[in-house]
Amino acid sequence: MALAGIRCLVTGAGGFLGRRIICQMLEEDQGPDEVRALDKAIGPETRRAFAKVKTKTLLTVIEGDIRDVASLQTAVQGITVVIHTACIIDTLGIVDKHTLWDVNVRGTQLLLESCLRNSVPYFIYTSSIEVTGPNSRGDPVYDGDEDTVYQSTQGFPYAENKKEAEKSVLEMDGLPLKDGSSFVTCALRSMYIYGEGSLFLQRHLDQSIQNNNIFLRISQKEALVNPAYVGNVAWAHVQAAKAMKDPEKVKRIRGQFYFISDDTPHVSYSDLNYELTKELGFGIQPKLAMPLMILYWYALLLEVVSFLLHPFVRYVPSINRHLVTLLNTPFSFSYRKAQRDFGYVPRYKWEEAKQQTSQWIAKITPLRTAYLKNKNS
C-alpha cells in the first residue's frame, strides 16, 4: 500500500521521532502528495535533514504552537492523515505541571477539535509505554500484549498526561464528519526509543564521559525491557498511515492502541547504553551504587527536600521514586497486534540499529568531551 494521494500533517516535526517520520515519508517511491511539518520551532539541523532527501513530495514547514488554534486551523486544512507526535517528555518533574498538561493534553484536544471542524478523516497518536506502567509497586510484565491485564497505580504527571491525551484520542473515534464519514483514530504506544539524535542517550553519554567513560548503572541487570530503535518506531507510524487507505485495515485499527517494539534484545536500560558503546571503549558499573530499596528511599528523601525548599528555591532532584521504579521493573511488550492489524514489521534489524546508533555516538563523543572539559574548567 502506497502513500500516494494523501496529505499528511506531522506535529512535533522538529523532534527526535517526528523528523524521522517525515524523512521516511519523503523517501517513499510513491510518497504522499504533501507532508506538512508542524512545530513551534524548526531548527537548522532538522531543515538540513529534510533538504537531504530527494523527493517528489511537497514539503510544507509550518512554525506554530500546538496550543494555538489559528496555527492548527491552517495546518489541518485539506489534510488526510494527522500523525501527532508533539509533546513534552519529562521524567524528572522539571517542567511545571500546568505547562505539561497544557501542551500534552490540551494541545492534543485542540488538535482533535481542529480535525473534526475541518473533516480530517484519520488521526494517529504517538502514545507511550508509560500509559501502561510500570505501576508504583513495580509489578513486572514479560512479553505482554494489548490484552494483558495490568493495574496501573501511577500518578507521575508525564505518564498521567499521556494517558489522558490517549483517552481523548480514542474516545473521538467514530464521531461524524461533515461528508458523512466518521473520524478514525488510533494510538501507538512506543517503548523507550533510542537511536541517533536521542537527547536521553546523549545525557547518559555525558555522565559516562565525566565518569572516565564508565556508564553509571541506574537499572539492575535483570530489569529487562525492550527498547525500540527510532527508525522502527517511525516506520510503524508510516505503516499505520498507509493502512488508512485500506478499508479492511481501517476496520481493525480504528479506536485501538498498539504497542510498538522491535527485535532489539531485551536488556535493562543501563545495559542498552553499554551495548551501544562497548565497542567504542566504554564500560559500565557492575551494580547499582546502593541496594535498590535504599535507592528508593534516597529518592524519596530528595523529593521531601525539594518539597520543603519549594517556597524558597526550585530544586529538581536528579532522581525520584517514579524513575527508580521505571528503570528497575521488568517491562516488555510484543508488537504482534500491530503486525497482524496493519502490517508493521521492523524496518531495521538490531545489528543495523546498533551500528547506526554507535556510529552517531562515535561522532559526537569528541565534541561532547571537549564541551564538558571547557564547561568544567
Q: Which residues are catalytic?
A: 158
3-state secondary structure of 301: helix
Identify any residues that bridge with 34 across adjacent strands, giving them in sequence order. Answer: 7, 58
Q: Where are the alpha helices (DSSP H) in the chain?
A: 16-27, 44-52, 69-76, 97-101, 107-117, 157-171, 199-210, 230-243, 247-253, 269-277, 292-309, 321-327, 336-342, 350-376
Cell 498498539 locates to 258
DSSP 8-state class, residue 130: G
Q: Which helix (H) or strand (E) element contains residue 128? A: strand 122-128
Q: How many Cα atoms sit within 13 Å of 253 on the Cβ side?
A: 34
At 10, phi and psi to the nearest 5?
A: -115, 115
Which cell numbers in the block locate residue 275? Answer: 551495548
Distance of CA 155 to the CA centre of its chain: 19
Angle of helix 230-243 relative to helix 16-27, nearest 10 degrees, comes to 60
Q: Beta-carbon neighbour count of residue 278 at 10 Å? A: 14
Integer CA distances (angstroms), 200 to 27, 192, 194, 269, in order: 27, 10, 8, 11
DSSP 8-state class, residue 217: P
Cell 532522581 locates to 319
Which cell numbers in the block locate residue 61? Answer: 514547514
Q: Which of 34, 138, 46 is nearest to 77 (CA)?
A: 34
Distance of CA 216 to the CA centre of its chain: 23
3-state secondary structure of 100: helix
